[in-house]
Structure 1
Amino acid sequence: MDYDEDDTPHYDAPAGGWGSVKGIASIWGEDDPSPAALETLRRQNKPGGHMCTSCAWTKPAKPHVFEFCENGAKATLWDLTQARCTPEFFAEHSVTDLMKLSDHQLERAGRLTHPMRYDAATDRYVPCAWDEAFAGIGAALRGLDPKSTVFYTSGRASLETSYLYALFARLYGHNNLPDSSNMCHETTSVGLKDVIGSPVGTCILSDFDHCDMILFLGQNTGTNSPRFLHPLQDAVERGCRIFTLNPVRERGLIEFADPQSPWQMTVGKATQISERYLQVRPGGDIAALTGMCKHVLEAEQLYGGVLDRAFIDEHTDRFDDFAAKMHATGWDEIEAASGLRQDDLRDVAEAYIGAKKVIGIYGMGLTQHVHGSQSIAMLVNLLLLRGNIGREGTGISPVRGHSNVQGQRTVGISEKPKLVPLDKLAELFGFEPPRDTGMTTVEAAKGVADGTVKGFVSLGGNFARAIPDHSRTDPGWSRLDLNVQIATKLNRSHLLVGDGAWLLPCLVRSEEDMQATGRQAVTMEDSLSHIHGSVGKREPASPDLLSEPAIVAGIAKATLDPNPKLKWDDWIGDYGLVRDLIERTYPDKFREFNNRMFTPGGFYKGNAARERKWQTDTGRAHFTAPDTMTALESEPGADAYTLLTLRSNDQFNTTVYGFSDRLRGLKGPREIVLVSPRDMKRAGLAEGQKVTLICDVDDGTDRRVGGLTVVPYDLPNRCIAAYYPEVNPLIPLDRYDLKSKTPAYKGTPVRIEP
């Protein structure tokens, strides 16, 4: 059967609008949240309220009436479900039986209510007391070589929890502190640090009030950070031009209707977000940005006055090598690698030349590639040409995922000891911190697979599903001597267990955290480097739950030798004392921490690159000449395709709320593979056909995912797409960004087998 692009699924409505309202309602009806959920949503992301556990987008000083998006509401309603996963549930279901359930069904079992330990004899989790759990875990940790253990954390743990967790790891004796950043934006932390001296973006919220051009690359705002659509809409309506490069046409960057605008929800038209939308090939951003830089440099030669020469001379180096590379790269190579026409790239570059203040925005479409660091460096190159870093209304702005994934790095969750003030920790707590480099996520996963990792403590998350290469890693989990999972709901990682596994339930951020000195607040850092306080007020799902800081402290006390400088009970009784420790450890970033934590809009921790102070090896921002035009390790073979992993509109990371991917016009089972009509015709595939995807990397491991249904979809040539984490088994652990070791989720070569 012949197809054209009009035959592929699509969604005609804008992002936001009534579709967003219906999406929230669907979760409300399915998950039956507590009656107080509406009050919780009313306070969400506002001063004195609780900060959303979904994305890390910033919170404005003057919030909207409803300062939450569809996915933020889903996350909160998901947390506040009235369903409970009790000891009786585990008595009725063996772990073997639970393995037959889908990830969605596991989480639908509800909130975990009691600490549990795995009993191998009965293949069941059985309840235990908290003291028993802490004593058992502490005894196991004392019996292990600290270097053989990993302390992982997802991106939702607060700054207070993260600080204590990192301190515990180093007191215990290791720097094995990978977090979810290792799987998404570690390429930012390493790549940006190399070229501008900052591991994070340079923009703040007010910059979006002053820019006149925004360049978007590899980021799906409509699904992953919908509140960002409000400042984008405001920018467009005052005349800012937005240009998007992304393999998939995502509705949030095409048009948006504000659900809080009566006019747009009734008779008004949606706001068109992107002026131009170019479907770049996966990994083709280096080439596309090379084409734009090449045009800018040619315009300088022809007309002069295009480059910001004063900025380049005063603040940058290595310009000549970069410019020579741009001039030497031909348009044929650029078009082949990017999948885009020269004229289209020149048009965007011409708009860039005409703009006075430009912001570059990117997401995991740039970071999750073998040469992702070079993609980021190329975006920096383009911005540096016209001085678009370090001025109001300009900058580079990676959009982070989890709500505090950036903040965890700020307060010590890092496997890189050079990023942590170890001498200060030694002074404060009277010990000698380990100085060796710890494990990244990739190295931890390999350690589980080969048996060198003996103990694993997971502070949130669903690590076993989030990582790549499941056929290599899954068997290793049952061989661990210790597997501790701190969680709110049941997930797949909790079932890949052997004797020595513990399941410890904790509070969610919207629940009241009462300690010795009363109700406690916690803090987190957003994508724009602002710190926000958060207070939960909902009744906890169970009286047997503990807070994350209390669980970390309980394990630490049971593991470590006594030390009068370690006041775990005092710190848990008053989280303000932990913030005092953070301030003493990081005085430049957290001055008067306790006094400023509820500043409307958050308080800014600062960024030297924003002030044009370049903390690089030369004290200048670096132009860099790429050594490749594709971020892929290699182009797919004649019978292969580049696999792009996607999240759906009903999903946040590995949590699947439902089965509607509304903004892509898709609904139903997630076991699908999206293929362009052109590639379907070329391969002889039919809509609805069942196929198997096979990893086309010859390294001795057979990686395949079967039972996927072919769905025609508008994608670049030789590119297919499927859902994360369902196709994670296809991603080799040894395919990662060469600088950061972020897995290459966006660029795996695969073959399609009927």
Structure 2
Amino acid sequence: MDDPVTPKSYDGSTGGWGSLKGMAGAERKAKASPAALRTLAEQNKPDGYMCTSCAWAKPPQPHVAEFCENGAKATVWDLTSERCTPAFFAAHTVTELGAWADHDLEMAGRLTEPMRYEADTDRYVPVSWDEAFAAIGRTLQHLEPKSVTFYASGKAALEPSYLYGVFARMYGHNNLPDSSNMCHETTSVALKKVIGSPVGTCTFDDLSHCDAIFYLGQNPGTNSPRILHPLKAAVERGCKIIAFNPLREKGLLEFVDPQNPWQMTLGKPTKIAHQFLQVRPGGDIAALMGVCKRILERETCEGNVLDRAFLNEHCKGEADFIAELMATDWQRIECVSGVTRAELEAAGDVYVEAKNVIGIYGMGLTQQVHGSQAIGMLVNLLLLRGNIGRQGAGCQPIRGHSNVQGQRTVGISEKPELVPLDKLREIFGFEPPTEKGHTTVEFLEAVLDGSAKGFIGLGGNLARAVPDQSRIHPAWRDLQLTVHVATRLNRTHLLPGKDAYILPCLVRAEEDIQATGPQTVTIEDSFSHIYGSVGRREPASPALKSELAIVAAIAKATLRPHPQWRWEEWTNNYGKVRDLIARTYPDEFQDMSERMHTPGGFYRGNPAHERVWKTQSGRAEFTVPDTLSANAIEDAAGRYTLMTLRSNDQFNTTVYGHSDRLRGLEGSRMIVLMNPLDMVEADLTEGDAVQLVTDSEDGIERVVRGLAVTPYDLPRGCLAGYFPELNPLVPLGHHDRLSKTPAAKGVPVRIRPD
């Protein structure tokens, strides 16, 4: 066997000068206005602008620069000086634009005027706001409400999101999926089942009091860099971080604080992970079983390791789980997890010796066929020593979009049982529908079978983010109506329905002036804290409307008049909408307008944080996994497990550039990462052109061509490549069993020459 090539890697640390250069490069590319610097100075601060990037906390005592590389990129991208005007659309057909790269579509700049698709010319043409609203309303009136889906991307603030959900139910359906269906719906389902809360149990303050953090399936350097500051502070006071991830991501290895002059010049990087366990994709259930097995061994030998008082008072099912631990052999755990018994025992020892432990996780757990069971296993680990519901301990998912959790909180949900329909009935004087609505996967199934007729997108680029694109995209164009509330052109806009509209909106950093003056919006972070956000920049175009104004105008054009439906009043004064939110959710949002600028946000509460368990049993519930592999992929000759990744130069489907600095990768995104030993075994060399084909028995060929083989430090039998380029390989039916979240972190594929 030939010697394998050296895998690609990055020699620097997360943060540091590389982060500053990355921000500067994005600013030059975006051609942001000078006012963007003023926005960055106000970003994530009380009375300031809340970043539209990740959902990380905004601390009560912010840094001078309370933004990260990703947040800065998002802000300068929003405040670009480039404009996508009607002249642009006049110069390009939709068919022509369909051949453009995602990055090039974004680079056309901010949308400036409402546009309507004209099939005869295959172009978007200008349309007045009044004409657009009237036409959309007429079409919606003629469609069966249950054939229409109202999707939300996760960026829209609480006020427009609340009205969007109310509008959908007034119209007659609960088809209200949002971007959490694509990433963290597994969290909402799994945590709700075992602890009664669909969101994380920690507050930001808990990070200052933990002794250990078990960190699974999340890449902080690329996806939420501001978390690195509290991780660094935790490590420096003695907290031990145990990282589980198939890729040895730089953000979990070492960090240089760009706001620390000494560390930037003379100091050394801070080592983040005390121990790094390079699990196989889907190996987290097995790895956590191994950690728990070690804890049980310590309990048997030493006693007083398990928190018996907590287990007796608060938990159910621990005996069945412990029996499963005893019956599961170490050889099977090592085989499925991809890590050794010694490594797992060391991690278990850290857990036992820590008084307070936090479990943090991301989409490495949620985007698996058995992701719900993986989350259940993490909760099992935490429950063994009472590490939920007290200071310095808890279970904390890291969410993506800045308000994706908040949208669910105020009613963007396809599950009617999660929404106080009785309150909506009382406040608005109508009978809300009670039939369950579409998840994103169910909407896509309806697109394929033709029962879906209309789609309204409150932001986002859904068609580019979905699985099975070779099947979905042609069917998408058969929709009767597509409406996109957007800031920039993206690929979903290039799949117009029979009637299709692009409605340009303000970004959060821009001044939102309504009849009563400048308006404030609110967002919720991953720690259930609510913040006010004030935009102060001049809008990119005088024709732009706010998301709330657009939602209200479509609703008014669609629905019959009703004395309790005051769309113009709510548009004129967002405080009126906050009053409606407070009436609908009085325990969480009382005095919302008065509290929204509280430094660090105001806490809406979480029963599990107080050890109140809203489960069927009224207790925190242990679960017994029926598998050790979360991805449900069996080993077979020639079969690999594919994970999709985001680069350092993107946010979800928004591609800022072609640098994945923290992985040492530059240039084309059409690459497939592969273990060097696997390359030798497959007779492949660096740069070879290959295709990836889904290893599925459903008779549908799913293939992505033109990929260059790239050596990387991955577990054997594992491949990785970029989202969304490799999404066509994910079958629509390949999703978490409970939440229907697409299982993009564990896709069975084969390699063939291109």
The 1:636/1:120 distance shift into structure 2, 3 A limit, reads farther
Distance 2:148 2:259 in 1: 48
- 1:360 aligns to what SS in structure 2? strand
Distance 1:751 1:700 in 2: 15
1:32 lines up with 2:34 in the alignment: no
Distance 1:2 1:69 in 2: 43
Structure 2 residue aligned with 1:347: 346
- Give the Å deviation of 1:400: 0.3
1:369–1:746 Cα contact (<8 Å) kept: yes
- Give the Å deviation of 1:455: 0.3
Distance 1:380 1:703 in 2: 36
Structure 2 residue aligned with 1:320: 319
Counting only pairs closer than 5 Å after superposition, residues 739-750 of structure 1 correspond to structure 2 as 739-750=738-749
Structure 2 residue aligned with 1:682: 681
1:192–1:200 Cα contact (<8 Å) kept: yes
Structure 2 residue aligned with 1:430: 429
Distance 2:221 2:436 in 1: 37
1:2–1:677 Cα contact (<8 Å) kept: no
Counting only pairs closer than 5 Å after superposition, residues 327-366 of structure 1 correspond to structure 2 as 327-366=326-365
1:96 lines up with 2:89 in the alignment: no
- Give the Å deviation of 1:298: 1.5
Distance 1:2 1:248 in 2: 24
Distance 1:415 1:204 in 2: 27
2:295–2:352 Cα contact (<8 Å) kept: yes
Deviations 1:271-322 (A, max 9, x none): 0000111110000000000011111111111111110000000000111110
Please tell me the residue identity of whatever aligns with 2:330: W
Structure 2 residue aligned with 1:8: 7
- 2:597 aligns to what SS in structure 1? coil
1:400 lines up with 2:399 in the alignment: yes
TM-score, with structure 2 as normaliser: 0.99
- 2:586 aligns to what SS in structure 1? coil
Structure 2 residue aligned with 1:77: 76
Distance 1:386 1:161 in 2: 41
Distance 1:101 1:446 in 2: 27
Deviations 1:722-741 (A, max 9, x none): 00000000000101111111
Deviations 1:33-64 (A, max 9, x none): 01111001000000111100000000000000
Structure 2 residue aligned with 1:483: 482
Please tell me the residue identity of whatever aligns with 1:343: A
Deviations 1:159-209 (A, max 9, x none): 001000000000000000000000000000000010011100111111111
1:154–1:179 Cα contact (<8 Å) kept: yes
Distance 1:716 1:65 in 2: 40
* Matched residues, number: 753
Structure 2 residue aligned with 1:474: 473
- Give the Å deviation of 1:591: 1.3
Structure 1 residue aligned with 2:57: 58
Structure 1 residue aligned with 2:86: 87
- Give the Å deviation of 1:637: 2.2
1:425–1:433 Cα contact (<8 Å) kept: yes
Structure 2 residue aligned with 1:225: 224
- Give the Å deviation of 1:477: 1.5
Please tell me the residue identity of whatever aligns with 2:579: D
Counting only pairs closer than 5 Å after superposition, residues 425-574 of structure 1 correspond to structure 2 as 425-574=424-573
What is the RMSD computed on CA atoms of the aligned residues?
Answer: 0.8
- Give the Å deviation of 1:472: 1.4
Please tell me the residue identity of whatever aligns with 2:355: K
- 1:30 aligns to what SS in structure 2? helix
1:729 lines up with 2:750 in the alignment: no
Counting only pairs closer than 5 Å after superposition, residues 587-598 of structure 1 correspond to structure 2 as 587-598=586-597
Deviations 1:651-699 (A, max 9, x none): 0000000000000000001000000001101111110000000000111
Counting only pairs closer than 5 Å after superposition, residues 246-325 of structure 1 correspond to structure 2 as 246-325=245-324
1:114 lines up with 2:86 in the alignment: no
Name stretches of at least 5 consecutive residues in structure 2 with no aligned partner: none
115-124 vs 23-32, which moves further: 23-32
- Give the Å deviation of 1:446: 1.4
Deviations 1:507-542 (A, max 9, x none): 000000000000000000001110000000000000
- 1:117 aligns to what SS in structure 2? strand
Please tell me the residue identity of whatever aligns with 2:101: S
- 1:589 aligns to what SS in structure 2? helix
TM-score, with structure 1 as normaliser: 0.99
Distance 1:316 1:638 in 2: 43
Distance 2:52 2:27 in 1: 17
1:212 lines up with 2:218 in the alignment: no
Distance 2:127 2:326 in 1: 68
Distance 1:48 1:354 in 2: 42
Structure 2 residue aligned with 1:45: 44
- Give the Å deviation of 1:213: 0.4
1:216–1:244 Cα contact (<8 Å) kept: yes
Structure 1 residue aligned with 2:649: 650
1:449–1:474 Cα contact (<8 Å) kept: no
1:119–1:499 Cα contact (<8 Å) kept: no
Structure 2 residue aligned with 1:586: 585
- 2:10 aligns to what SS in structure 1? coil
Distance 2:11 2:275 in 1: 18
2:288–2:381 Cα contact (<8 Å) kept: yes
Distance 2:327 2:53 in 1: 44
2:633–2:641 Cα contact (<8 Å) kept: no
Please tell me the residue identity of whatever aligns with 2:462: F
Distance 1:159 1:638 in 2: 50
Structure 1 residue aligned with 2:640: 641
Structure 2 residue aligned with 1:140: 139
Please tell me the residue identity of whatever aligns with 1:356: K
- 1:456 aligns to what SS in structure 2? strand
- 1:645 aligns to what SS in structure 2? strand
Distance 1:453 1:498 in 2: 11
Please tell me the residue identity of whatever aligns with 1:231: P
Deviations 1:310-360 (A, max 9, x none): 000000011111000010001111011101101100010011111100000
- Give the Å deviation of 1:101: 0.6
- 1:588 aligns to what SS in structure 2? helix
2:467–2:742 Cα contact (<8 Å) kept: yes
Distance 2:477 2:206 in 1: 50
- Give the Å deviation of 1:636: 4.1
- Give the Å deviation of 1:3: 4.6
- Give the Å deviation of 1:2: 3.8
Counting only pairs closer than 5 Å after superposition, residues 611-630 of structure 1 correspond to structure 2 as 611-630=610-629
Distance 2:28 2:288 in 1: 45
Structure 1 residue aligned with 2:368: 369
Distance 1:136 1:273 in 2: 55
- 1:644 aligns to what SS in structure 2? strand
Counting only pairs closer than 5 Å after superposition, residues 169-184 of structure 1 correspond to structure 2 as 169-184=168-183
- Give the Å deviation of 1:4: 4.8
Deviations 1:584-621 (A, max 9, x none): 00001101101000000000010111111111111100
Distance 1:542 1:2 in 2: 60
1:636–1:642 Cα contact (<8 Å) kept: no
Distance 2:712 2:605 in 1: 43
1:449–1:475 Cα contact (<8 Å) kept: no
- 2:589 aligns to what SS in structure 1? coil
Please tell me the residue identity of whatever aligns with 1:507: L
Please tell me the residue identity of whatever aligns with 2:732: L
Please tell me the residue identity of whatever aligns with 1:587: P
- 2:587 aligns to what SS in structure 1? coil
Structure 2 residue aligned with 1:416: 415
- Give the Å deviation of 1:257: 0.5
- 2:116 aligns to what SS in structure 1? strand
- Give the Å deviation of 1:633: 2.2
Distance 1:450 1:650 in 2: 36
1:636–1:749 Cα contact (<8 Å) kept: no
